[in-house]
Chains A and B, each alone.
Chain A
């Protein structure tokens, strides 16, 4: 079964950092572009960041550019998101998602909750 499992979420104070991880199973991780999408409590979906198959290209939403860093380790079948200088508005459920051929998202994890609060 194809699966994405996120971890690393938690409660963190504003200005601090956190690292999310996502481990893939059931498919060839290195064949796919991977992204993070977040969902604030009771709100809609917001694209956060994406990374190419070989880590040669990364993209970020303006709201997180300069504060978040996406990376991957194909040998470990893992995707990461380093969140720094966190703000209260970064509070959200963060989904690891698989992207098909630079098009749509076809596989979603269950999400990792990040809560930024003093």
Chain B
């Protein structure tokens, strides 16, 4: 099973700030990685797939990068609606499909 580790668990940022979230895989997953955003009381929403491709209607301030075992999600200028929990997920080696534990941006 591929274990996904996200850091930090919580990130305190001011609006307008730059945010970098990390996700590490226990073995290479190539670029088969997605990022999801989950706001309180809502279902997760796809942000990034294939490590760096923005999903439909996702603003350009969200950027995904990395391959192999190290990945990052960068939010260039945090807006009020971006305060949420962010999860990474690998889909290279499955079953099982595995998620990271999440990073809360507050």
CA A108 – CA B97 in complex, angstroms? 16
Q: Are B49 and A104 in contact (CB under 8 A)?
A: yes
Q: A50-B95, A61-B95 are in contact. Are A108 and B43 (CB under 8 A)?
A: yes
A108:B89 contact, CB within 8 angstroms: no
A47 interface residue, CB < 8 Å from B? yes
A45 and B44 contacting across the interface, CB-CB below 8 Å:
yes
* Nearest CB of chain A from residue B52's CB, rounded to whole Å: 13
Residues in chain A near residue B45, CB distance under 8 A: 108
B101 surroundings in chain A (CB, below 8 A): 44
- Whether A109 sits at the interface, judged by CB under 8 Å, is yes
B21 interface contact, C-beta 8 A? no
Whether A45 and B99, one on each chain, are in contact in the complex, defined by CB atoms closer than 8 angstroms, is yes
List 15 A-B pairs, Cβ < 8 Å: A44-B99, A46-B99, A50-B97, A61-B95, A102-B91, A103-B32, A103-B49, A104-B34, A104-B49, A104-B91, A105-B36, A105-B44, A105-B89, A108-B45, A110-B42
> Is residue A80 contacting chain B, with contact meaning CB distance below 8 A?
no
> When chains A and B are docked, how far (Å) is the Cα of A105 from the Cα of B97?
11
A binding-site residues for B, Cβ under 8 Å: 35, 44-47, 50, 59-62, 95, 100, 102-106, 108-111
- A45 x B87 contact (CB < 8 A): yes
Residues of A within 8 A of B43 (CB): 95, 108-111
Chain B contacts for A44, CB-based, 8 A = 87, 99-102
Q: How far is the CA of A35 from the CA of B89 in the complex (A)?
A: 14
Interface residues of B in 9-41 (CB under 8 A from A): 32, 34, 36
Count chain B CB atoms within 10 A of each CB in A102, A104, A106, A108 and give the residue with the most: A104
Which residues on A sit within 8 Å (CB–CB) of B100?
44
A100 CA / B101 CA spacing, docked (Å): 22
Contact partner, B46, options A47, A59, A104, A111, Cβ 8 Å: A104
Question: How far is the CB of A62 from the nearest CB of chain B, in Å?
Answer: 7
Find the A residue at minimum CB distance from B85: A44
Min CB–CB distance A33 → chain B (angstroms): 11
Separation of A95 and B97 alpha carbons in the complex (Å):
14
Given the contacts A95-B43, A108-B43, A108-B44, A103 and B99 also touching, CB distance less than 8 Å: no
